[in-house]
Each structure stands twice: as C-alpha cells, then as structure tokens.
Chain A
C-alpha cells in the first residue's frame, strides 16, 4: 500500500496527515441512550485516529453484537459489525489477509469475555497487530440489563433478581496472564487520557488491549456512572507505576472492581514479532525458494 514514512505500526507521522475528526465521523447518528459512556469512547477514538493519521479507508473496524458493538458504524472506516462474540477471529482473518490495514476491534464485556471469551487468549498468543477495545459496562446493555461476566457478585439484574452468585471475570488480569503486550484502562470522563491510551495502543506493534469502563446509564449501577468514576479514578502515571513492569501491572490489576486505575498497566518494552510480520517473512522466504506455479 502507498502510505509514506511507515513507522513500526504502519502509521505515518501526524504531520503528514491533514485529517480532522470530520474525516472519521460517519453520517449515521448514534442511537445510544443519552449519557451512555460509549459516546465518549467514539469521540476519543476519532481523536486518536486523527493523531495516527491513516486515512479512513485504510482502517478496518470490527465489532461483535451489543450496544457498544455499534461503534464501527459511527466511523468512516471500513466497518464490520459481525455476530455476537466473533469480532476477534473476523479481525484476525482481515489482518492476515491484508497486513497493511490498521485493524481495530471493539465490543462489550459480554461480547468479549463471555460468548467470545474463548477467542481472547488465542488472539493474544497469536499476536497479530491489532487493537482490541472493550467497553466494559458490567452489564448486558443491548438485551436490557442481564448479568455480564464482569457484573459484581451479588448484583441484582433481570436475570439475577436474587443477586448474582458468580465471581466476575477480571479482564485486565485475564489479558495480562495470557501475555498481552499492551494493556490499558480508561474512562470516557477522562477524554484526554483515553485518547492518548487508544493512540498508544494503536501504535504498539502487536496485540493491544484497552478496557474502557464505559457506564450504561440505563441498566448500569447508579454508583458506577461518569461522575462517580471521575472522582474515583487514579492515574497510574501519577502513582509512579512503571508500565514495563508486568508483575507490578498484574498486582495493580487485581484491584479491578474496587479501585479504578487508569492509564497503561503494561507495555512490553521489547515487543515480540507479530504474526503478520511472520506471515510476510514466510511468504517472501517460500516465494524465493520456489515461485508458485
């Protein structure tokens, strides 16, 4: 493809890109509930994409099913709103078929850690260069408020009117344990922080994960909304956390559900080779030995 001045993630430097948010916002008007955290997520994403500077047609944006999974439609990227839980495998097929694309994946906590949970470890260990954004509202929004895999124990929902009896998944610890090279957490109320971490995630050469605690105003816990989050948030950078320290990152990640840490938990200082770079190498090597008939 014809992008000039390729950096490690395939992104040209921002100076070469006279792009604005308008280039990334589609004509579809979001149908999220007023006040839904996902509005903030898409705004942060527009900003990050402006900073990255790849034109929208070189971006493939893949999601599953859920309120949050509507997000690709609100961008001018090539969007693919797939089926519930399968965004990661579809995205990997896209990236393998065309490693030149910037591939973004997004969805809800249910999409990513319940029905699609089995795909997450494999996406991590395969390490294609893509960015996975989870809008973690601790609830099933689209189906009107049932338990999600990150709903706290004891929560009363339409599918748990006597209280949840399950321990929630810890998305941060989960992806760290499987060896993700980039792990961050943000909130829509901290727009600048969120924008920066999405941008850093995209620039990371390999699988990157951003957990966004994106409140559901309609079915979510009233004590887990924007204002509360903003007050509760503690920035990892200000806490002196060294994001190259994986063990410390895991230690901090254990506070998921009690503390609200934001920022980069972990970024591998020596990123291992990506699957897509290995594909190119293998293709080149085998084509050199024996060209296809």
Chain B
C-alpha cells in the first residue's frame, strides 16, 4: 500500500476532468486524507485542454510532487500538451480512453509505464448514464476501485452535487460511478497500488485555495477597504472579499485600473482604515509610483502580488517567482518596503495577517508575494487557530500629544510617529509626496531629506530580528545548507527531509520575511556552511542575488533556478544536495573535482 499518491488527469474542457479533481479532493478531505490539487489550463478561457493533479497522502502534503503514480488520459493530444506538468515514469499506472483507438503498446510516451490500461470510459458512461457528461464519474469510480480512494465519500459528493438536479440526473451519475467501480473490480491490477487508509478520520479539515484564505485573513486582520482591478491569478481575492467586507463595516472598489485601485487604498489608509490591494505582475508594475507615495507619507497598506510568468503578459496562467526584484525595488528613491512570502496555502493566512500587522506597526506599505500555484491550488488544511495571531493597530496620537501641537512625522527613537486621521480634532497635517519636515511641511533641504530617509529606513530594522518569520530545519552545525522561499519552499522542504533521511548533513532556511534581508539570520545560518544552494522558480535566481547584495556568503554558494512553468521536483533538489555533499571535504566519500 502507498502512503502518498499522485494522480494526474487531462482532457478537453468538456471532459469534466477539473471537476473530477475537485470531487476527489473534497472526498479525500472528508475521508481524513491530506491532499493538494493543482489545475492547469491551456490559454483558452473556456473549453480548451485542461488538467489537474492531485497528490493525496496520509500526512500533510508539502508540494504537488513530481512523477505521477496514476495518469488518466481522456485524449492523448491534450495530455501531451501538459508535458512536464504531468510526467509519466516507469512506475506509473496509465489509464486512457479506449476510444482513442491507440493500442497499449503504441501509446505516445517516451517511457514505458508500469501498467497501461485502455478503458472504455465513454462506452461505460453511455451505457450507465446515457450521456458522455457522466464520463468523469466513471473515472472517479475507476480511481476509487483500483486505488482505494475514498469510495463512500466520493459517492456522498456525487449525491450532494447532483441532488438538486433531479432524480434522473442524480441516478445516472451514481450509475456511472458504480460502473467505474465495477469495471475496476472486474479487472484487478497486477500489483497493489492502493492508498493506505487515513491516519485519522474526519476532523475539521477543509479544502481551500490561497486566494480564498488570503481574503479571510485580511478580514480577520481588520481590513476595511479593498481597491483593485481584475487580473489573473489574483482576481479571486477581490471576488471573495466583496461578499463579506461590508458586514465588517468595510467597503470595496473595483477601480478603473490598478493605479486607481492602490491610490484609493492609500486614501482609505489616510482616512484611518486598514486597507489592501491585490494584483499580479502587470498591475504591480502600474502600482509602483503610488507604492512610493505610501512610503514617503508613511501610510500602512498591504499589496499582494500573486506572481505569474512575466515580463509583460508573460505566462498569465502559470506560476513563477520572478517578481522579487520588482517587489524589492518597487519604486524609485531610497526606500525599503517589507516583502513577505507565504510558503503554502495554509501559510497565506498567517503571512497576510502578519503583513497587515507589520504595515500598521511600521506605517509602511508591505508587499506579499504569493504566486499562481499557491493562489489557485487547493489544499486540504487543518483549521487555522486564530487565537495564534495577534492584531496590531497603528499608533495614534494621544489627546495630550494633539494638544501640544501635533507633528505627524515627529522624530522618535523607534522612527515611528503617531498617525492621526481626518476627523481627529487637532490632528490635521499635510500628507505629501514631496519631502517634508517633522510637521509635514514641504522641504527641499538635503539635511532634512537625510534625516527623513534615516527615519524611514531605520524604523524597519527591528523587523530583521523577527526570527519567527524564518523556518529553520536540521542540525545547526551541518556543512550543507539549502535556502528556498514562497511557492518553492514546499518541494525544497520535502527534498531536504529526504536528503537528511539519507544521511546527508544538510540544513534548511526558509525566509517568509524576504526583505529587508535579515543579515544576522543569514550570517548565523552560513556560519557552519561550506556549500549552500538557493532554490527558486526564476531564471536569474533573484533571491540568490539579493542575498549576495547584503550578506557575505559561503564559498560554495550556488543557485538552482528555473523559469516559471518548469517545476523543480524534490528529486532534482536532492540530486543537487548530494552533489554538494560530494564536494564537501567533511563527508567521507569525497574526492574533489
């Protein structure tokens, strides 16, 4: 039996492959498994090829994984279009639609899979339900039958989904599911490929994606205003927020463009409310001038950038981590803005709340770098305990401070000055994009500019001591290190654990606070290292380069970086760790190259 299984499916839009994936993950959650569901589409909005991959396991899933254990092919052209996203290996079981007319020995794959089965999916659907639309339920039956997946829970899901559509449709789909199960029972596999039963059934686990949980976190953090403009793959954040933000006494603006969106956010923040925007690459580029305005006026805001492939329109439906430079250097002038990145769907909650807290505490725009995969991937997660999070609000001037004559940009030890808002008697000031003195009056004095830059930059220093914004794993004295961030962190974590299990002396650092670079955290991490690998999904290796900008790095400081839409598998990372080990004198098997 397997504890971990990866299923990949592809078909054309009408085949219902994606909704089969949704059904499987919901059933898996009810059954007590953990899982991760990623979907991928061709560039057509509707009706083109579509695919999904589900990784289901008895323990929490860290990344979508590499080679498929099970491949479901509704037609070969569509399947092959997803290439590297649905890799088949020698241990894969391939099920495909018999109607494609291809003999099992002649399937168009370069590797020879473990088992290849041509299944009359359409025929089973027609016979049982009288419609090809039931084909995906046949597939669910096959998967439940052959691989021991959530049999009852899938049926329950089918009942829930079709009960409103009348008895006839419901029964047809039930019969299609049964037909799949029966076919699997009658054609047992040569080897046991079944998934082990879940460790603990039930619980309060739920299926959610990164964008939805981002919206929930924003409301939890006290967000009262959202301004934004639709863009893939960030739009769902706005779509979720617009349902409920009003109940929280807030409001939402679908603006005429991204500039207006973030400008309205700056306005709402000036008016005293917690506010956010969310976008992706092209929109992020447009926002940059106003992000700078928020920096100089020291107004809190959260800007989520759900990264997709770039530059320009790039690969709008694929994930990439190539906006780190853009986030770190997001506007002109000598500024630093905190950049945070969640490492997975569940983590989006904590990171979003943290982003609001940091924005409010330090009176600064904060950029959250999510990515397409995290944003649109569905995970089964354990419930988030909101008691784990505190909520931070901006410091406001006291009545005494207002009575003494309010200085909005007063120099303080922390660099943080109490922030008033319209409506507060005695708190009036001029917020301006132009440099100002403590009172807020415009100035062109070089001396004042230097002092204000000091204030704006130094106030962020305490952030670098936030070690809770870093994940550290492994023996602190290990000679090998791996660093990764954001969407790549899961695969890297899995790889490092595998390498450690193989006895390789490797430790791991995952920053969630990406910028400012916490020099001491990296210095401490590097102290024992002879080699260090930075793993990320960008062509240039952007984090690798930014770390080098700020910290002295170990001699063997290398990068494993690939452009978006070219997943880096845990196996590939393990291989690089093993190669570093070979080059490390401390390890016994070493010869130098």
Interface residues of A (CB under 8 A from B): 1, 26, 28, 55-60, 62, 65, 72-73, 76-83, 86, 88-98, 100-101, 118-119, 121-122, 279, 282-283, 286-287, 290-292
CB B387 to nearest CB in A, in angstroms, measures: 14
| List of 4 A-B pairs having minimum Cβ-Cβ separation, nearest first | A93-B267, A93-B264, A89-B263, A97-B268
Q: Offer 19 A-B interface pairs, CB within 8 angstroms, sorted by A.
A: A56-B428, A57-B423, A57-B424, A57-B426, A57-B427, A58-B422, A59-B422, A80-B267, A81-B434, A89-B227, A89-B259, A89-B260, A90-B270, A92-B253, A97-B251, A101-B422, A286-B247, A292-B219, A292-B248
Chain A residues whose CB sits within 8 angstroms of the CB of B244 once the complex forms:
286, 292
Interface size class of B (residues with CB under 8 A): 35 or more
Asked if A81 and B430 sit within 8 Å, CB to CB, the answer is yes
Smallest CB separation, A183 vs chain B (Å): 21
The distance in angstroms between the C-alpha atoms of A60 and B429, with both chains bound, is: 10
Tell me, rounded to whole Å, the shortest Cβ–Cβ distance linking B441 to chain A: 6
Complex Cα distance, B271 from A77, in Å, reads 13
Across the A-B interface, how many residue pairs have beta carbons closer than 8 Å?
Answer: 163
Chain A residue nearest to B220 in the complex (CB): A293
Residues of B within 8 A of A1 (CB): 423
A93, B266: Cβ atoms under 8 Å?
yes
Does A86 lie within 8 Å of B273, measured CB to CB?
no
Neighbour of B275 across the interface among A77, A92, A93, A100, CB < 8 A: A93
Which of A62, A93, A101, A283 is close to B249, meaning CB atoms less than 8 Å apart? A283
- Min CB–CB distance A208 → chain B (angstroms): 18
B425 within 8 Å of A (CB atoms): yes
Secondary structure of the B contact surface, majority rule = mixed
Is the beta-carbon distance between B432 and A81 smaller than 8 angstroms? yes
Assess whether B264 is in contact with A60, with CB atoms less than 8 Å apart.
no
Chain A: CB-nearest residue to B253: A96
- Cβ–Cβ contact B264 & A57, under 8 A: no
Whether the pair A57, B430 counts as a contact (CB closer than 8 A) is no
Question: In the bound complex, do residue A101 and residue B256 qualify as a contact, i.e. CB atoms below 8 Å apart?
Answer: no
In the complex, which residue of chain B has the Cβ closest to the Cβ of A59? B422
List residues of B whose CB falls within 8 A of some A CB: 219, 224-225, 227, 244, 246-251, 253, 255-257, 259-261, 263-273, 275, 289-290, 293, 297, 420-434, 441-442
Q: Given A73-B442, A76-B428, are A65 and B268 also a contact pair (CB < 8 Å)?
A: no
From A57, A58, A90, residue with most partner B Cβ within 10 Å: A90
Q: Considering only CB atoms, which chain B residue lies closest to A122 in the complex?
A: B256
B249, B270, B441: the one contacting A28 at CB < 8 Å is: B441
Do residues A93 and B424 form an inter-chain contact, with CB atoms below 8 A? no
A82 touches B433 (CB 8 A): yes
Residues of A within 8 A of B425 (CB): 55, 57
Residues of B within 8 A of A59 (CB): 422
How many angstroms between the C-alpha atoms of A186 and B291 in the bound complex? 35
* Cα distance A119–B262 in the bound complex, in angstroms: 13
Q: Which residues of A contact B248 (CB under 8 A)?
A: 292
Cβ contact within 8 Å between A97 and B225: yes
CA gap between A79 and B267 in the complex, in Å: 11
CB of A97 within 8 A of CB of B273, answer yes
Minimum CB–CB distance from A277 to chain B (whole Å) comes to 12
Q: How far is the CB of A125 from chain B (nearest CB, A)?
A: 10
Asked whether, in the complex, the Cβ of A97 is within 8 Å of the Cβ of B247, the reply is no
List B contacts of A58 (CB < 8 A).
422-423
Instruction: State the CA gap A122–B255 with chains docked (Å).
Output: 8
> Taking each of A89, A92, A283, A292, which has the highest tally of chain B beta carbons within 10 Å of its own beta carbon?
A89
- Counting chain A CB atoms within 10 Å of each CB, the highest count among B251, B259, B265, B297 belongs to B251
The interface residues of chain B lying within 8 Å CB-to-CB of A94 are 267-268, 270-271, 422
| C-alpha gap A90/B267 in the complex (Å) | 4
The smallest beta-carbon distance between A31 and chain B, in angstroms, is 9
B422:A92 contact, CB within 8 angstroms: no
